[in-house]
Amino acid sequence: MRALIVEKDADGATRAAVQEIDEGRLPESEVLVAIEYSTLNYKDGLCIGPGGGLVRNYPHVPGIDFAGSVERSSDPRYRPGDRVVLTGWRVGEAHWGGHAQKASVRADWLVPLPEGLTTRAAMAVGTAGLTAMLAVMALEDHGLVAGRGPVLVTGAAGGVGSVATAILSRLGHEVAAVTGRPEQADYLKGLGAARIVAREELSEVTRKPLESETWAGCVDAVAGAMLGRVLKQMKYGAPVAAVGLAGDAAIEGALITPFILRGVNLLGIDSVMQPYARRVAAWGRITRDLPMDRLEAMVVPATLADLPRLGAEILQGRVRGRVVVDVNA
């Protein structure tokens, strides 16, 4: 089998290359999956490159999600030929992941491939799309409905932002897409964004306790100064789903004022350890609420050999949409 193997030398430098390895090197677990497609996320870029503190042991196979068919299983829930999807559970970080032709994983980590969805489409969705759907569901749980005002999506040209933009637009929301790359405006409008907001409009730190009520909801992938600004601009009782920290792990310039004077809700979205039932519900919503024609517009096709280059590019913010990796090409 072929796999992208990341190795670390005595000086701490890492290098990644596609290698032919014996299947026996895979960790022992309950289900062996013949992978058809994987994808590339920001975490994968870290694991392919410097590690980012995510990788425990080398050599390592990254890839935090994959889709394929069961080859063998010691768990009665899965039989050979069953189509499955895996996202999260620290696969590709602490455990060997999906940038390979096969993976050996626990049955609890798998979800049946939703009916009507191909393995390629599932990886066009991937962890990023699942996270976006979980964010939308959380916003809805906290009162977001169409017609109450524009919904902001930060980091909109990235994987989570792209899918969130498409889903929210499909659900009837007016989407305001934030990007620092003006050349992506047509792409974002094609996904359903009603307007484009330049990153510079929200990146300045202010000490104002509140600003004009503007946004009915927000999916935020940036954090940092931008999230600090956005919180002050939320409408009364509006929810913000925090899905990432591309800008900073801190919320710069944030005050308690939006929470206690406007009842703003800041919701943390974790896709790694989500319970099985919530994952199944989110995948069901994806098949219903994510327009597949717009999903295809996000796809950047790739092979295992492309991943060292793309891993570096995603860390530099140079990857748009969803990279879908054909591990058998």
What CATH number corresponds to the domain at position 6? 3.90.180.10
Q: Is there a domain that residue 122 lies in?
A: no
Residue 119 lies in a domain: no
187 membership: H or E segment, kind and range: helix 185-191
Is residue 263 situated within a structural domain?
yes
Would residue 282 count as lying in a domain? no
| 287 within some domain | no
In a domain, 121, yes or no: no
Q: What is the model's pLDDT at position 251?
A: 79
Give the containing element (helix H, strand E) for 288.
Answer: helix 276-289
**pLDDT computed for residue 258 by the predictor:** 93
* In a domain? residue 306: yes
Same domain membership, residue 320 and residue 236:
no
Residues 26 and 136 in one domain: no
* 108 and 81 in a common domain: yes
Q: Which domain holds residue 75?
A: 2-113+292-326
Q: CA nearest 326: which of 35, 11, 7?
A: 35
Find, among 66, 128, 93, the residue nearest to 295 by Cα. 128
Length of the chain measured in residues: 329
- The dihedrals phi and psi of 68, each to the nearest 5 degrees, come to 180, -155
DSSP assigned state of 296: H
204 and 251 part of one domain: yes
131 and 99 part of one domain: no
65 and 159 in a single domain? The answer is no
The CA distance from 299 to 251, in Å, is 31
Residues 108, 131: one domain?
A: no
Q: How many domains does the chain have?
A: 2
Element of type H or E holding 144: none
What does the pLDDT profile of the chain (329 residues) look like in tens digits? 999 999 999 888 899 999 999 999 999 999 999 999 999 998 999 999 987 789 989 999 999 999 999 999 999 999 999 999 999 999 999 999 999 999 999 999 999 999 999 999 999 999 999 999 999 999 999 999 999 999 999 999 988 999 999 999 999 999 999 999 899 999 999 999 999 999 999 988 888 899 999 999 999 999 888 999 999 999 999 999 999 877 777 777 778 999 999 999 999 999 999 999 999 999 999 999 999 888 888 899 999 999 999 999 998 888 988 999 999 99
Side chain identity, residue 319:
V
* Residue 264 and residue 134 share a domain: yes
In a domain, 276, yes or no: no
Evaluate whether 307 touches 15 at the Cβ level (below 8 Å). no
Overall pTM > 0.85: yes
133, 251: one domain: yes
| Statement to judge: residues 43 and 156 lie in one domain | no
58 shares a domain with 170: no
State residue 53's pLDDT score.
85
> Do 131 and 263 sit in the same domain of this protein?
yes
Instruction: Find the Cα–Cα–Cα–Cα dihedral 301, 323, 30, 20, rounded to 10°.
Output: 50
CATH number, residue 254:
3.40.50.720
For the four alpha carbons of 95, 138, 45 and 189, in that order, the dihedral sign comes to positive
